[in-house]
Amino acid sequence: MLQTLFDGMMIGGIYAIIALGLTIIFGVMKVINMSHGDFVMIGMFVAYFLFKAIGLDPFLSMFVAVIVCFFIGFFLYKFFVEKAKKGRDENTLLVTAGSSIFLVNFMALPFLLGPNFLRMTGENLYWENKLWKIGGITFNASFLMGFIITGLLIVILHLFLTRTDTGLAIRAASQEQMAATIIGINVSRISALTFGLGAAFAGIAGCVLATTYPIYASIGSLFLVKAFVIVVLGGMGSIPGAAIGGLILGITESFGATYIPGGTGYRDVFGLILFLLILLYRPHGLFGKGV
């Protein structure tokens, strides 16, 4: 029982990192980013590539992945999403869905990921099948690290948003774009920055996952719906909401699949039902202030 709870929390911690990225993007510019999962894949690729090339530990590759994903996200916003925003709401959705097709098939080119299922393995990889036993509970070492990183990221993000000028500008832009423009905030630049930041979070999650999960071009789609679920669960744009929502989803899935008879085949249904209930009874999420 306790083991299942912790298993759920660990996986939920990683869901939370992915959802954090999605939620800040949504909070600031009300864009539903359909290519968010693909940034997780890019993060995984960076970790894999650096490990193969120079034996870099995935938790150090994270810093590179953050930069790579940030810039791809930044330019995706500048060149496409921002222009699509001038049209109807669904245009941004479709432009990101189009970019998802593009990114998946771009990464499937033979000199990048190719069609293969790759896996980080090697003598010098500390995290491969590494378990930490703490008080009778077994932890997947890299997921536990991921969990700690989630905590750190939330603190850093909070400090960034409340203590720095850029952070304050992001918050201003998320509340009232027009007013933000009037007081001299460059909303376009702030939006691009936020989009890149959101993508960078997905990249971090990719590095954590790279040690345990296979790495292939279309893996991102597996995380997309989960990230949506969490973002709505916690309230669109809410940072603590995304963190708690991630944990709730992870725990619900673990318990549902383990303890409900025949539940293994219906694993994802439990989270979705929870999602619907929240949507119906608290449409602004558990922590939403109203969007």
Partner 1 sequence: MFKLVNRGLFALLFSLFLLLAGCSSEESSSSEGSANNGNDEQTGTEQDTIKIGAVLPMTGGSAVFGEKFEQAYTLAIEEINEAGGVKGRMLELVIEDSQEKPDIGKTATEKLVADEEIMIMTGGRSSGVTLVQAQVAEENKVPYIIDHGTSDLATMSGYEYVFRMNPTSGMYVTALKDYLRKNPPEFIVHVNVDNAFGEALYEYGLKDFIAETGFGYEQLKYAAGELDLKPVMETAKSFNPDIVLMTAGDDNDATQLIKAAYEVDLNPKLFIGTGAGHSIIGFYEQAGELAETVLTAGPWHGDKNHPDYQKFFDKFTERYGHEPGEHEVEGYAVMYVIADVLERAENLDRESVRKAIEETDLYTVFGQVKFEDFDGYTNQNRAVTNIAQWINGKLVTVYPDEYAEQEIIFFPGWNR
Partner 2 sequence: MRAVLYTLGAVILVGAIVPIFADIHIYSVVTTVLIWIMFGHAWNILGGFTGQISFGHAMFLAIGAYSAMIITNHLQLDMFLTLILGGLFAGLFSLPIGLLIFRLRGPYFGLGTLAIAEIIHIVGRNWKSVTNGGEGMMLLSVPKFLGIQISSKDEYFYLALILTAAVSLFCYFLMKSKTGYMFIAVRESQESAEAIGINTILVKSKAFFISAFLAGFTGAFYGLYNKFIDPDMTLTVSMSVEMIFVTVLGGIGTILGPVIGASILITLQEWLKDMDVLQAFPSLYLLIYGLVIMFVIVYLPGGIVDGINQLKERLSKRRRRDIEYTQSG
Give the footprint of partner 2 on this chain (CB under 8 A): 26, 30, 32, 34, 79-80, 83-84, 86-91, 93-95, 97-106, 108-110, 115, 217, 221, 224-225, 228-229, 232, 236, 265-266, 268-269, 272-273, 275-276, 279-280, 283
Q: How far is the CB of 47 from partner 2 (least distance, A)?
A: 22
Length of the chain: 291
Site for partner 1 in 84-113 (CB under 8 A): 105, 108
Relative orientation angle of helices 187-209 and 58-76, to the nearest 10 degrees: 150
- Which stretch in 67-75, 79-87, 231-239, 257-265 sits in contact with partner 1 by CB under 8 A? 257-265
* Separation of alpha carbons 271 and 281, rounded Å: 15
Q: Is the torsion defined by CA of 115, 72, 124, 134 positive or negative?
A: negative
Cβ distance to partner 1 smaller for residue 30 or 267 = 267
Q: Choosing among partner 2, partner 1, none, which partner's interface includes residue 166 (Cβ < 5 to 8 Å by kind)? A: none
- The reply to whether 117 sits near partner 1 by the rule CB under 8 A is yes
- Measured in whole angstroms, the distance separating CA 185 from the mean position of its chain's CA atoms is 27
Q: Choosing among partner 1, partner 2, none, which partner's interface includes residue 182 (Cβ < 5 to 8 Å by kind)? A: none
Tokens of 116: 């293969």
Q: How far is the CB of 68 from partner 1 (least distance, A)?
A: 22
Rule CB under 8 A: choose which of 180, 254, 271, 288 binds partner 1.
254
Rule CB under 8 A: choose which of 19, 47, 144, 257 binds partner 1.
257
The answer to whether the CB of 153 falls within 8 A of the CB of 204 is: yes
Q: Closest Cα to residue 172, out of 290, 163, 181, 24?
A: 181
Q: How far is the CB of 46 from partner 2 (least distance, A)?
A: 19
Q: How far is the CB of 244 from partner 1 (least distance, A)?
A: 19
- The reply to whether 137 sits near partner 1 by the rule CB under 8 A is no
At 98, which amino acid appears? G
At 279, which amino acid appears? L
Q: Closest Cα to residue 96, out of 214, 208, 252, 202?
A: 202
Site for partner 1 in 176-215 (CB under 8 A): 212-214
Find where tokens 């939370």 sit: 16
Who's near 63: CB < 8 A, 6+ residues apart? none
How many residues at the interface with partner 1, by CB under 8 A?
34
The answer to whether the CB of 41 falls within 8 A of the CB of 231 is: no
* Separation of alpha carbons 193 and 172, rounded Å: 14
The site for partner 1 (CB under 8 A) is made up of 3-4, 7, 11, 105, 108, 114-117, 119, 121, 128-129, 131, 138, 140, 212-214, 216-218, 222, 253-254, 257-258, 262-265, 267-268
